[in-house]
Amino acid sequence: MTSYSVIGQCPQNVSPPKPYQDFASLFGAHGVRYIRIQWVDLNNQVRCRFLPVSYFLKLLESERPGVTLAKATLGLVVLQVAPGFSHVGEYNYVVDLSSFRLCSYAPGHAVFFGFFQEQVLVPRPSGPSFEVPCCPRTVLSRVVRDAVEELGIQFLVGMEIEFILLKSVNPLVPVNDHQFSTAIAVATGTVEARVLEEIADAIQVDGIELQMYHSEGAPGQYEVVTGPMSPLQAADALVHTRETIYNIASKHGLRATFAPRLALDSCGSGAHMHVSVQGERPGTPASELMTPLESAFLAGLMHHLPSVIALTLPLSASYARMLDGIWSGGTWLCWGVDNRETPVRLTKVSTPSSRNFEIRPIDGTSNPYLAVAAVLACGILGVRDDRALTIKNCDTNTLAAEMTVEERAALGITTRLPLNIGEAKQNLVADDAIKDMLGPEFVEGFLHVNEMLVKAIDRREGESEAEAVARLVENY
């Protein structure tokens, strides 16, 4: 798996290289000594190669700068390779030069993401291509590109990032025991206050809009909210923000975890995604609360969301957070204006320029590129199919889970989200439209990897709950 320069044709979804001198000057101005070439695999593990600037600048002289990686890379689960992924052959991991970002959490470092590419053109249904179907950034880029080219719609995506700061992993010892949005949770002079402010500073210096941070409801739990960006930029920024949180916490002797739920008597940690959709679409919406385009997009979410939960909640542990009555979004497929007990919340209704959908059944164990691609794919299918919105605004204080069958039926609520990862994967396999949108080869590869991942992370026979939770925290 040694890194080498990659030379060949520059694919369309990689920005043309800037002149060598531009990056040399940029690195020099910011004191950059090392370049991190990062990718996120199907397990949501951030993997990285570290290159000295001198060598990276040599790579920039090639047409397609990057490194080579074993084809098994995308199928790695701990030290095993999932079925369907080959021990033979290499991919080119071509740097996306537009993804450049400083790493304030590691002074002297900068980071680039990229696209996995075949080394030679490979026959595909749409024609010869370098694209690798299981490359997460490629999956997202293709979904967005098709939406723009075929439907003329575009998206902005913003993120809420919940995490817990721990003094110890086993036993689990949070940095404090506070309440939601309390000032004392960020008391001056405490290690958590220093960590949070350093995270906030780093995110902003690195070019990501920080909107706010605050304490959440579980012991040691906090949330960072970042501003809207294009889908690929938003996923890149989420990876970078999580890396910032991990690294700055580690610098101060703490462990940050995005694990879905550490204890059943406290809140879980989500990764809520805010999506706004723009474009022209004639017609009359099913609700006066949104445009025809937004209505069709929401209808797609209401139809296909159960099919992509395996991508947004990929572990058994994910489903300990997705319960009714704990502000996670609940288990019944529905939506509501500012209703945090529905899987999809329509927010900022009175301000069309800011109106967006908050998708709540997502957690920090999911790959950001795949989670964004999955959510957008649902909505895009609704727009493409001109789907009518049949589920009404759930604007009652009564939880869908507490309604009678008749009360739910009156609102059009008839479907539950999957209650475990097994059900979630069955739904994914059964939805041909989603598989076509994301790519059949990708879906097959993801399912193979996920099967091994769940076995690797789940509690094992004879193992204590504390040991299983510690393994979850160490990985996420």
**171 found inside a domain:** yes
Backbone angles phi, psi at 243, to 5 degrees: -65, -35
**137 found inside a domain:** no
**DSSP run (H or E) holding 50:** strand 46-52
Calculate the average pLDDT of the chain: 93
Q: How confident is the model at residue 286 (pLDDT cuts 50, 70, 90)?
A: low
**257 found inside a domain:** yes
333 plus 392 within the same structural domain: yes
Give me the DSSP letters along 354-383: T-EEEE-S--TTS-HHHHHHHHHHHHHHHH
Is residue 222 pLDDT above 50, yes or no?
yes
Q: How far is CA 299 from the centre of its chain?
A: 22
214 plus 91 within the same structural domain: no
Q: Give the span between the Cα atoms of 82 and 407, in whole angstroms.
A: 45
Give residue 307's pLDDT. Answer: 99
239 plus 117 within the same structural domain: no
Q: How far is CA 248 from the centre of its chain?
A: 20
The predicted-structure confidence for 53-83, as pLDDT tens digits, reads as follows: 999 999 998 888 999 999 999 999 998 999 9
| Longest alpha-carbon distance in the chain | 68
Q: Dig out the tokens for 461 from the structure.
A: 């026979």
116 plus 224 within the same structural domain: no
Q: How many CA atoms lie within 13 A of 118 on its CB side?
A: 12
236 plus 105 within the same structural domain: no
Cβ atoms of residues 337 and 395 within 8 Å: yes
Give residue 64's pLDDT. Answer: 87
Which is nearest to 457 in space by CA: 442, 473, 439? 473
Question: CATH number, domain at 128?
Answer: 3.10.20.70
Is residue 2 pLDDT above 50, yes or no?
no
The predicted-structure confidence for 161-215, as pLDDT tens digits, reads as follows: 999 999 999 999 999 999 999 999 999 999 999 999 999 999 999 999 999 999 9
Q: How many CB atoms lie within 10 A of CB 358?
A: 23
Give residue 373's pLDDT. Answer: 99
68 plus 217 within the same structural domain: no
Q: How confident is the model at residue 18 (pLDDT cuts 50, 70, 90)?
A: low
Question: CATH number, domain at 382?
Answer: 3.30.590.10
The predicted-structure confidence for 342-372, as pLDDT tens digits, reads as follows: 999 999 998 988 999 999 999 999 999 999 9
Give residue 33's pLDDT. Answer: 98
Give residue 284's pLDDT. Answer: 65
203 plus 347 within the same structural domain: yes
92 plus 234 within the same structural domain: no
Which is nearest to 400 in space by CA: 387, 413, 418, 381? 413
> What's the structural domain count of the chain?
2
Backbone angles phi, psi at 438, to 5 degrees: -85, -25
Give residue 146's pLDDT. Answer: 95
Q: Give the span between the Cα atoms of 461 and 473, in whole angstroms.
A: 19
Q: Give the span between the Cα atoms of 465 and 447, in whole angstroms.
A: 26
120 plus 229 within the same structural domain: no
Q: Give the span between the Cα atoms of 396 and 408, in whole angstroms.
A: 11
Q: Give the span between the Cα atoms of 342 and 393, in whole angstroms.
A: 10
The predicted-structure confidence for 401-414, as pLDDT tens digits, reads as follows: 999 999 999 999 99
The predicted-structure confidence for 184-196, as pLDDT tens digits, reads as follows: 999 999 999 999 9
Is residue 5 pLDDT above 50, yes or no?
no
**469 found inside a domain:** no
Give residue 17's pLDDT. Answer: 42
Q: Dig out the tokens for 204 from the structure.
A: 């902003």
Give residue 7's pLDDT. Answer: 30
Is residue 15 pLDDT above 50, yes or no?
no
Q: Dig out the tokens for 420 from the structure.
A: 């475990």
- What's the N-to-C CA distance of the chain in angstroms? 24
Give residue 283's pLDDT. Answer: 66
* 3-class DSSP assignment, residue 292: helix
Cβ atoms of residues 227 and 209 within 8 Å: yes
The predicted-structure confidence for 128-161, as pLDDT tens digits, reads as follows: 889 999 999 999 999 999 999 999 999 999 999 9
Give residue 3's pLDDT. Answer: 34
Give me the DSSP letters along 159-210: EEEEEEEEEETTTTEES----TT-GGGG-TTSHHHHHHHHHHHHHHHTT--E
| Stretch 24-30: mean pLDDT | 94
Which is nearest to 161 in space by CA: 224, 105, 104, 114? 224
Q: How confident is the model at residue 265 (pLDDT cuts 50, 70, 90)?
A: confident
Give residue 11's pLDDT. Answer: 32
70 plus 174 within the same structural domain: no
**83 found inside a domain:** yes
**Dihedral angle sign, alpha carbons of residues 362, 365, 368, 373:** negative
Q: Which residues contact 327 (CB under 8 A, 6 or more apart)?
A: 267, 340, 341
Which is nearest to 131 in space by CA: 116, 148, 149, 114? 116
Give the structural domain span for 70. Answer: 20-132
Exposed/middle/buried for residue 299 (C-beta within 10 Å: 0-12, 13-18, 19+): buried
Q: Give the span between the Cα atoms of 39 and 41, in whole angstroms.
A: 6
Q: Dig out the tokens for 92 from the structure.
A: 């080119």
Distances (CA, A) of 382 to 139, 213, 434: 19, 34, 11
**Dihedral angle sign, alpha carbons of residues 308, 310, 312, 313:** positive
Buried b (16+ CB within 10 A) or exposed e, 67-77: bbbbbbbbbbb
Q: How confident is the model at residue 20 (pLDDT cuts 50, 70, 90)?
A: low
**475 found inside a domain:** no
443 plus 315 within the same structural domain: yes
Give residue 440's pLDDT. Answer: 97
Q: Last residue of a domain, which of 76, 105, 132? A: 132
Q: Give the span between the Cα atoms of 218 and 195, in whole angstroms.
A: 18
94 plus 165 within the same structural domain: no
Q: Last residue of a domain, which of 103, 132, 161? A: 132
Q: Dig out the tokens for 324 from the structure.
A: 């009714």
**465 found inside a domain:** no
| Stretch 279-299: mean pLDDT | 84
**115 found inside a domain:** yes
